[in-house]
Structure 1
Amino acid sequence: MDETPSAQDEISEERSPARRRARGRNPRGQGERLRDEILSATLRLLNDLGDDEALSLRAVAREVGIAATSVYIHFEDRDALVYAALERCHRDLVRDLDQAETGAADPAARLRARLLFLGSWVGRHSGLYKVLHESTLNQRTHLAFKEDLTDRTTAAVQRCMDAGLAPADDAAAVSLDLRAAVHGAVSMRVNEPDLPWPPLEDQIDRFLTKLVGVRLPGGS
């Protein structure tokens, strides 16, 4: 997507040469390092803004301490930059979700741990969550990397069924119902934080019991 600079962007750009000079140039062969810094800055700004269309490439450049033209060397436009940043964010989230399962006693406990970690992650990264799942970028661009998390959740549900911890069923359909419920619960907390929400842990346990059919410790 093309980006037209605003007057405020131009003024800010003129006021920031000292910051750009202070950063200095990356040594030869460290272009990938600069790309990573741009992605990290983008993720910080997206989390603050909660809206990809409010992101300015000039704001990203200022955050890193470089000229805006340096961003264009690595990314064609704002959508390409946001896509790459979200892809990295999603990859890291999938890794952390997998790690959250460590130590869980059985497939049902591992699935529960994944969902609880997702809820805590959204609480810390509500802006990124909104861009990942609620932004217009989802209509303009197919965020193919999100399919990985979908597949992993379906596999986790299937493992519960294979272990006899949930009734045999269409794991993909059950996973879709479960993801819809969990995303609805966390999204409403992000968008309506002042409502008298029950503990997310209690809701997730009800989703697992009613939608997946697992029997959790202490459940009826």
Structure 2
Amino acid sequence: MTKASAAPGGRSTGLGEPVSARPRNPRGQGSRLREDIIRAATAMIERTGSDQSVTLRSVAREIGISAPSIYAHFEDRDAIVEAVVLEAIAQLHESVASAVAAHDDPVEGLLAGCAAYVDFGTREPARYHVLFDWARPKPESAGHDLSRTRGLNAFQTLVDNLDACVRAGRSTSADPFGDAVALWTALHGQVSLRASLPDFPWPPANTVEQMVFRLGHITSG
């Protein structure tokens, strides 16, 4: 049997892998370790551009703990990635909703919200990519319901905003939901393609405004 290696300070990974000693959290602050795990996984995804770099061992090395310590907060590496995804969804939603709320005019709000979406995707390419490329939890799992609900809530902001344009007489859309899907598809396509083909002669950034006016059936007013 292989003897578990000891880390500096006498700690052992139990997996034959040394780690740097990490100060124990004060009593009542065990949740900080969970946050540290999510931060570490997020940093790894940002560095590598993929969630495949996230494993129990790699996260443990990142923050200087033993890999088995993670089980008190996450059952496996997929649960860690899921937490990163849920946090990214929440931040994207907050960015878009805040941009929309900053404007009284519904069209200006729609433009600002869509611009915030593209800005998040281009500013956080790895975190944005993992939103769509991660291995989603099984339909019967609690994580599936939570991620689906948060994702739908974020999308509903776009639907409600476009509907507000219709009610204000600023859009001729007869199907705000369907047109919001088309607009979201276009925004996602722009973020993804710009990330994949940075050397392509892309038009100016005001293409977001063009997409909003065309796909949202915005009228002058």
> How would you bin the TM-score normalised by the shorter chain?
0.7 to 0.9
Distance 2:82 2:62 in 1: 18
Return the TM-score normalized by structure 2: 0.82
| Match 1:153 to one of 122, 135, 158 | 158
TM-aligned CA distance change 1:173 to 1:27, over 3 Å: same
Distance 2:203 2:16 in 1: 46
The one-letter amino acid of 1:50's match is G
Contact 1:61 1:68 in 2 (8 A): yes
Q: Percent identity?
A: 32
Give 4+ residue runs of structure 1 displaced > 4 Å after superposition: 138-142
Alignment of 1:1-220 (within 5 A): 14-16=17-19, 19=20, 21=21, 23-133=22-132, 135-138=133-136, 142=144, 143-144=147-148, 145-200=150-205, 202-215=206-219
Distance 1:207 1:13 in 2: 54
The one-letter amino acid of 1:87's match is L
Q: Number of paired residues?
A: 201
Q: More deviation in 136-145 or 152-161?
A: 136-145
TM-aligned CA distance change 1:100 to 1:210, over 3 Å: same
The one-letter amino acid of 2:208's match is I
Distance 2:83 2:220 in 1: 38
1:54 Cα deviation (Å)? 2.9
TM-aligned CA distance change 1:173 to 1:73, over 3 Å: same
| SS of match in other structure, 2:82 | helix
The residue that corresponds to 1:4 in the other structure is: none
Contact 2:97 2:113 in 1 (8 A): yes
Distance 2:185 2:172 in 1: 19
The one-letter amino acid of 2:182's match is D
Which digits, 9 at most, give the CA deviation of each residue in 1:134-180, with x for residues without a partner? x1414867441211111111111111111111014111101000000
Contact 2:173 2:179 in 1 (8 A): no
| RMSD of aligned residue pairs (Cα, Å) | 2.2
| SS of match in other structure, 1:193 | coil
Contact 1:167 1:213 in 2 (8 A): yes
The one of the two structures with greater contact order (alpha-carbon pairs below 8 A, sep at least 6) is 1
1:69 Cα deviation (Å)? 1.2
Return the TM-score normalized by structure 1: 0.83
Contact 1:13 1:58 in 2 (8 A): no
1:216 Cα deviation (Å)? 6.2
The one-letter amino acid of 1:166's match is S
* Structure 1: gaps spanning 5 or more residues: 1-9
Distance 2:27 2:215 in 1: 54
Distance 1:216 1:184 in 2: 26
* Structure 2: gaps spanning 5 or more residues: 1-12
Distance 2:92 2:113 in 1: 10
1:61 Cα deviation (Å)? 1.6
TM-aligned CA distance change 1:42 to 1:216, over 3 Å: farther
